[in-house]
Amino acid sequence: MHTKNDDKRKPSEQILSVLAKNVKTLRVKRKLSQEQLGELCDFHPTFISMMERKQRNVTISTLEIVARALEVEAFQLLMEQ
Is a pLDDT exceeding 80 seen at residue 1?
Answer: no
On whether the CB atoms of residues 56 and 77 are closer than 8 A, the answer is no
Is residue 8 assigned to a domain?
Answer: no
Is residue 55 assigned to a domain?
Answer: yes
- Domains identified in the chain, total number: 1
CATH number, domain with residue 51: 1.10.260.40
Is residue 60 assigned to a domain?
Answer: yes
Is residue 67 assigned to a domain?
Answer: yes
On whether the CB atoms of residues 40 and 47 are closer than 8 A, the answer is no
On whether the CB atoms of residues 60 and 11 are closer than 8 A, the answer is no
pLDDT in tens, 36-56: 999 999 999 999 999 999 999
Domain span including residue 20: 13-78
